[in-house]
Amino acid sequence: MRVISGIHKGRQIKAVPNQLTRPTTDKAKEALFQIIGPFFEGGQCLDLFAGSGSLGIEALSRGMDHAIFVDKHPKAIHTIHDNLKTLKLEEHAEVFRNDAFRAIKAAAKRELVFDLIFLDPPYAKISYEDLLDEISKFNLLASEGLIICEHDKRKTLPENYSGFVKLKSELYGSATAITLFEKGDNTHE
């Protein structure tokens, strides 16, 4: 795995040494960042189910100011710390070993708002709709922010849900889809 673009372009990052995570391929990551914006002028991102931290690290490399990484697996947390240290990004990041729903509540208590929220849970084990409900309930997405959901291509996410509107959905490879949501005026559909 590597950083695709930005100040750390080409630098290698470690994958989590187990079968618990499913890393985003470099090809899917590159396509994803071309869709959401190749570079950023500051901002804050939340990388839930972070695994190796690849998506949040890519966002930092491309100009995000700060990233919060959350994963519940100790090996993932260790890998994220190693990757941040290797790239000298520790001052731009926070890493938490926590359940995603608890992390959302903790972010709300701190009154944090994110420009990007990456959701890449284990396929078929966590409800994207429940995650969107919680993000909406605690108003964690900035007005111009995006939620990026990586999911099994057989899973179709709703067009409108919990105050969010589907902006785009793309297939990558044989098993993966990426769906983007932004704030909207619609409720459950």
Read off the pLDDT of residues 89-142 as tens digits, 9 standing for 90 and up.
999 999 999 999 999 999 999 999 999 999 988 877 889 999 999 999 999 999
pLDDT greater than 50 at residue 6: yes
In a domain, 189, yes or no: no
Greatest alpha-carbon pair distance for the chain in Å reads 44
CATH number of the domain that 89 lies in? 3.40.50.150
Task: Give pLDDT, residue 85.
Answer: 97
For residue 92, count CB atoms less than 10 angstroms from its CB and return exposed for 0-12, middle for 13-18, buried for 19 or more.
middle
Token couple for 32: 């994803």
Domain count, the chain: 1
Q: Is the pLDDT of residue 143 over 50?
A: yes
Task: For residue 159, count other CB atoms closer than 10 A to its CB.
Answer: 13
The predicted pLDDT at position 31 comes to 79
pLDDT digits (tens, 9 = 90+) for 59-68: 999 999 999 9
Q: What integer best gives the mean pLDDT of the chain?
A: 90
Classify residue 113: in a domain, yes or no. yes
Is the pLDDT score of 186 beyond 60?
no
Within the chain, how many helices (H) and strands (E) appear? 5, 8
Query: Could you list the residue range(s) of the whole structural domain that residue 163 is in?
Result: 26-183
**Domain presence at residue 21:** no
Q: Is residue 133 part of a domain?
A: yes
Note whether residue 18 is domain-resident. Answer: no
Q: Which of the four pLDDT bands, split at 50, 70 and 90, describes residue 183?
A: very high
Query: Quick check: is 167 in a domain?
Result: yes
In a domain, 77, yes or no: yes
Q: In what order do the strands lie in the sheet with 176-183?
A: 93-97, 66-71, 44-48, 114-119, 141-152, 176-183, 164-172, 160-161
pTM above 0.85, yes or no: yes
State yes or no: pLDDT of 22 exceeds 80.
Answer: no
Please report whether residue 114 resides in a domain. Answer: yes
